[in-house]
Amino acid sequence: DIQMTQSPPSLSASVGDRVTITCRASRRITNYLNWYQQKPGKAPNLLIYAASSLQSGVPSRFSGSGSGTDFTLTISNLQPEDVATYFCQQSYSTPYTFGQGTKLEIK
Amino acid sequence: EVQLVESGGGLVQPGGSLRLSCAASGFTFSSYWMHWVRQLPGKGLVWVSRINGDGSSTTYADSVKGRFTISRDTAKNTLFLQMNSLRAEDTAVYHCARDPDLRGYSFLENWGQGAQVTVSS
Protein backbone atom coordinates (compact mmCIF):
# COMPACT_ATOMS: atom_id res chain seq x y z
CA ASP A 1 0.00 0.00 0.00
CA ILE A 2 1.09 3.59 -0.62
CA GLN A 3 1.61 5.49 2.62
CA MET A 4 0.68 9.17 2.74
CA THR A 5 2.44 11.38 5.30
CA GLN A 6 1.10 14.85 6.01
CA SER A 7 2.83 17.64 7.86
CA PRO A 8 2.39 19.37 10.13
CA PRO A 9 -0.25 17.46 12.17
CA SER A 10 -1.58 20.79 13.36
CA LEU A 11 -0.91 24.46 12.85
CA SER A 12 -2.14 27.81 14.04
CA ALA A 13 -2.10 30.89 11.81
CA SER A 14 -3.56 34.37 11.68
CA VAL A 15 -6.27 35.68 9.42
CA GLY A 16 -4.67 36.86 6.20
CA ASP A 17 -1.67 34.53 6.48
CA ARG A 18 -0.45 32.18 3.78
CA VAL A 19 -0.59 28.57 4.99
CA THR A 20 1.13 25.55 3.49
CA ILE A 21 0.38 21.88 4.20
CA THR A 22 2.54 19.16 2.72
CA CYS A 23 1.83 15.57 1.80
CA ARG A 24 4.44 12.98 0.87
CA ALA A 25 3.73 9.64 -0.81
CA SER A 26 5.82 6.56 -0.07
CA ARG A 27 6.27 6.05 -3.82
CA ARG A 28 5.64 7.99 -6.98
CA ILE A 29 1.99 8.71 -7.74
CA THR A 30 2.46 11.21 -10.62
CA ASN A 31 -0.38 13.69 -9.96
CA TYR A 32 -3.04 11.31 -8.56
CA LEU A 33 -3.43 13.38 -5.42
CA ASN A 34 -6.57 14.93 -3.94
CA TRP A 35 -7.15 17.33 -1.04
CA TYR A 36 -10.21 17.47 1.20
CA GLN A 37 -11.39 19.87 3.90
CA GLN A 38 -13.43 18.63 6.84
CA LYS A 39 -15.14 21.01 9.23
CA PRO A 40 -16.31 19.77 12.65
CA GLY A 41 -19.42 17.64 12.43
CA LYS A 42 -19.44 17.69 8.63
CA ALA A 43 -18.48 15.27 5.87
CA PRO A 44 -15.23 15.90 4.00
CA ASN A 45 -15.40 18.33 1.09
CA LEU A 46 -13.27 18.07 -2.06
CA LEU A 47 -10.94 21.04 -2.61
CA ILE A 48 -8.36 19.94 -5.17
CA TYR A 49 -8.11 16.92 -7.49
CA ALA A 50 -5.31 15.74 -9.76
CA ALA A 51 -2.86 17.63 -7.54
CA SER A 52 -3.68 21.11 -8.85
CA SER A 53 -7.22 21.26 -10.28
CA LEU A 54 -9.53 23.41 -8.20
CA GLN A 55 -12.93 21.84 -7.60
CA SER A 56 -15.86 23.94 -8.80
CA GLY A 57 -17.12 26.32 -6.13
CA VAL A 58 -13.96 26.24 -4.03
CA PRO A 59 -12.47 29.70 -3.34
CA SER A 60 -9.42 30.59 -5.42
CA ARG A 61 -7.33 31.17 -2.29
CA PHE A 62 -6.93 27.38 -2.22
CA SER A 63 -4.30 25.93 -4.54
CA GLY A 64 -2.43 22.66 -4.95
CA SER A 65 0.90 21.76 -6.47
CA GLY A 66 3.36 18.91 -6.77
CA SER A 67 4.06 15.75 -8.67
CA GLY A 68 5.74 12.44 -8.02
CA THR A 69 5.97 12.06 -4.25
CA ASP A 70 5.75 15.60 -2.83
CA PHE A 71 2.63 17.74 -2.81
CA THR A 72 1.48 20.99 -1.28
CA LEU A 73 -1.85 22.57 -0.39
CA THR A 74 -1.62 26.34 -0.03
CA ILE A 75 -4.23 28.65 1.45
CA SER A 76 -3.47 32.26 0.70
CA ASN A 77 -5.17 35.00 2.71
CA LEU A 78 -6.43 32.66 5.45
CA GLN A 79 -10.05 33.26 6.48
CA PRO A 80 -11.84 32.32 9.74
CA GLU A 81 -14.05 29.86 7.87
CA ASP A 82 -10.95 27.87 6.84
CA VAL A 83 -10.72 26.38 10.34
CA ALA A 84 -10.89 22.66 9.57
CA THR A 85 -8.91 19.48 9.22
CA TYR A 86 -7.30 18.91 5.82
CA PHE A 87 -6.59 15.48 4.32
CA CYS A 88 -4.66 14.39 1.28
CA GLN A 89 -5.54 11.19 -0.58
CA GLN A 90 -3.77 9.27 -3.32
CA SER A 91 -5.83 7.72 -6.11
CA TYR A 92 -2.92 6.20 -8.03
CA SER A 93 -3.63 2.67 -6.85
CA THR A 94 -6.06 0.94 -4.52
CA PRO A 95 -6.33 1.04 -1.60
CA TYR A 96 -6.80 4.79 -1.98
CA THR A 97 -4.98 5.86 1.16
CA PHE A 98 -5.38 9.13 3.07
CA GLY A 99 -2.92 11.20 5.02
CA GLN A 100 -3.49 11.44 8.76
CA GLY A 101 -4.83 14.99 8.53
CA THR A 102 -3.69 18.50 9.43
CA LYS A 103 -5.78 20.45 11.92
CA LEU A 104 -5.78 24.16 11.13
CA GLU A 105 -6.70 26.73 13.76
CA ILE A 106 -6.82 30.51 13.84
CA LYS A 107 -4.56 32.37 16.27
CA GLU B 1 -28.48 18.93 -6.26
CA VAL B 2 -26.48 15.80 -5.53
CA GLN B 3 -27.58 14.08 -2.33
CA LEU B 4 -26.20 10.98 -0.66
CA VAL B 5 -27.96 9.72 2.45
CA GLU B 6 -26.66 6.74 4.42
CA SER B 7 -28.76 4.53 6.68
CA GLY B 8 -28.56 1.17 8.42
CA GLY B 9 -25.90 1.89 11.01
CA GLY B 10 -26.17 0.86 14.64
CA LEU B 11 -24.75 -1.13 17.51
CA VAL B 12 -23.83 -4.75 16.78
CA GLN B 13 -21.98 -7.44 18.69
CA PRO B 14 -18.64 -8.79 17.47
CA GLY B 15 -19.24 -11.39 14.80
CA GLY B 16 -22.54 -9.82 13.80
CA SER B 17 -23.71 -8.29 10.54
CA LEU B 18 -25.07 -4.98 9.29
CA ARG B 19 -26.14 -3.70 5.90
CA LEU B 20 -25.57 -0.06 5.11
CA SER B 21 -27.52 1.73 2.40
CA CYS B 22 -26.76 4.97 0.57
CA ALA B 23 -29.67 6.59 -1.24
CA ALA B 24 -28.46 8.72 -4.15
CA SER B 25 -30.32 11.51 -5.94
CA GLY B 26 -29.66 14.47 -8.19
CA PHE B 27 -27.46 12.68 -10.73
CA THR B 28 -27.39 9.71 -13.09
CA PHE B 29 -26.44 7.06 -10.55
CA SER B 30 -25.33 4.41 -13.05
CA SER B 31 -22.74 6.77 -14.59
CA TYR B 32 -20.57 7.04 -11.49
CA TRP B 33 -18.18 4.93 -9.50
CA MET B 34 -19.22 4.86 -5.84
CA HIS B 35 -17.05 4.36 -2.76
CA TRP B 36 -17.34 3.64 0.94
CA VAL B 37 -14.91 5.44 3.26
CA ARG B 38 -14.86 5.09 7.02
CA GLN B 39 -13.84 7.63 9.62
CA LEU B 40 -12.31 6.15 12.71
CA PRO B 41 -13.04 7.39 16.24
CA GLY B 42 -9.66 9.17 16.20
CA LYS B 43 -10.93 10.98 13.06
CA GLY B 44 -8.64 9.37 10.46
CA LEU B 45 -10.13 8.47 7.06
CA VAL B 46 -9.81 4.95 5.66
CA TRP B 47 -10.89 3.90 2.19
CA VAL B 48 -13.01 0.73 2.30
CA SER B 49 -14.34 -0.23 -1.12
CA ARG B 50 -15.47 0.95 -4.57
CA ILE B 51 -17.82 -0.22 -7.30
CA ASN B 52 -18.18 0.83 -10.92
CA GLY B 53 -21.32 2.16 -12.57
CA ASP B 54 -22.88 -1.13 -13.61
CA GLY B 55 -21.67 -3.08 -10.61
CA SER B 56 -19.38 -5.37 -12.59
CA SER B 57 -16.14 -4.26 -10.92
CA THR B 58 -15.46 -4.06 -7.19
CA THR B 59 -12.35 -3.47 -5.08
CA TYR B 60 -11.80 -3.80 -1.33
CA ALA B 61 -9.29 -2.83 1.30
CA ASP B 62 -7.45 -5.88 2.62
CA SER B 63 -8.86 -5.25 6.10
CA VAL B 64 -12.43 -5.94 4.91
CA LYS B 65 -11.90 -8.35 2.01
CA GLY B 66 -13.94 -11.50 2.44
CA ARG B 67 -16.13 -9.90 5.12
CA PHE B 68 -17.68 -6.88 3.38
CA THR B 69 -19.55 -6.79 0.06
CA ILE B 70 -20.29 -3.65 -1.92
CA SER B 71 -23.20 -3.64 -4.35
CA ARG B 72 -25.64 -1.29 -6.03
CA ASP B 73 -29.22 -1.26 -7.29
CA THR B 74 -29.30 1.14 -10.23
CA ALA B 75 -33.10 0.91 -10.49
CA LYS B 76 -33.41 2.19 -6.92
CA ASN B 77 -30.37 4.52 -7.06
CA THR B 78 -28.99 2.88 -3.95
CA LEU B 79 -25.52 1.75 -2.91
CA PHE B 80 -25.05 -0.97 -0.30
CA LEU B 81 -22.34 -2.28 2.00
CA GLN B 82 -23.01 -5.69 3.53
CA MET B 83 -20.76 -6.10 6.55
CA ASN B 84 -20.31 -9.56 8.07
CA SER B 85 -18.08 -10.95 10.82
CA LEU B 86 -17.81 -7.49 12.32
CA ARG B 87 -14.93 -6.68 14.66
CA ALA B 88 -14.37 -3.94 17.22
CA GLU B 89 -11.91 -2.29 14.84
CA ASP B 90 -14.72 -1.82 12.28
CA THR B 91 -16.26 0.78 14.60
CA ALA B 92 -16.43 3.99 12.60
CA VAL B 93 -18.66 6.43 10.75
CA TYR B 94 -19.19 5.05 7.24
CA HIS B 95 -19.52 7.55 4.38
CA CYS B 96 -20.59 6.82 0.84
CA ALA B 97 -19.06 9.03 -1.84
CA ARG B 98 -19.46 9.73 -5.55
CA ASP B 99 -16.50 9.49 -7.92
CA PRO B 100 -16.74 11.03 -11.41
CA ASP B 101 -13.58 9.21 -12.55
CA LEU B 102 -12.76 12.23 -14.69
CA ARG B 103 -10.31 11.42 -17.48
CA GLY B 104 -9.04 8.52 -15.39
CA TYR B 105 -8.65 10.59 -12.21
CA SER B 106 -10.55 9.21 -9.25
CA PHE B 107 -11.66 11.62 -6.55
CA LEU B 108 -14.55 11.84 -4.09
CA GLU B 109 -16.62 14.73 -5.32
CA ASN B 110 -19.63 14.34 -3.04
CA TRP B 111 -19.98 12.66 0.35
CA GLY B 112 -22.88 11.58 2.51
CA GLN B 113 -23.05 12.62 6.15
CA GLY B 114 -22.26 9.11 7.29
CA ALA B 115 -23.73 6.24 9.30
CA GLN B 116 -22.32 5.29 12.71
CA VAL B 117 -21.38 1.64 13.14
CA THR B 118 -20.40 0.50 16.63
CA VAL B 119 -19.16 -3.03 17.22
CA SER B 120 -19.22 -3.88 20.90
CA SER B 121 -20.46 -6.51 23.30
Per-residue pLDDT tens digits for A69-89: 999 999 999 999 999 999 999
What is the C-alpha to C-alpha distance for residues A36 and A38, in angstroms, rounded to an integer? 7
Average the pLDDT over each of A44-48, B61-65, B103-107 and give the range with the smallest value. B103-107
Q: What is the mean pLDDT of residues A4-24?
A: 98
Instruction: Please report the pLDDT score of residue B80 as a whole number.
Output: 98
Contact pairs from chain A to chain B, CB under 8 Å: 59
pLDDT mean across residues, chain B? 97
Contact A33, A51 (CB under 8 A): yes
Q: Based on the number of CB atoms within 10 Å of its own CB, is B117 exposed (0-12), middle (13-18) or buried (19 or more)?
A: buried
Minimum distance, in Å, between the CA of residue B98 and any CA atom of chain A: 11
User: Is B61 within 8 Å of A100 when comparing Cβ atoms?
Assistant: no
Contacts of B47 in chain A (CB under 8 A): 89, 94-98
Among the partner residues A44, A45, A91, nearest to B45 by beta-carbon distance:
A44
Minimum distance, in Å, between the CA of residue A91 and any CA atom of chain B: 6
pLDDT band at A29, cuts 50/70/90?
very high
Minimum distance, in Å, between the CA of residue B63 and any CA atom of chain A: 10
Strands of A19-25's sheet, edge to edge? Answer: A4-7, A19-25, A70-75, A62-67
Per-residue pLDDT tens digits for B64-115: 999 999 999 999 999 999 999 999 999 999 999 999 988 889 999 999 999 9
pLDDT at residue B42 is higher than 90 = no
Instruction: Please report the pLDDT score of residue A44 as a whole number.
Output: 98
pLDDT band at A26, cuts 50/70/90?
very high
Chain B interface mutation, best of A96, A102, A103, highest count of B Cβ atoms under 10 Å: A96
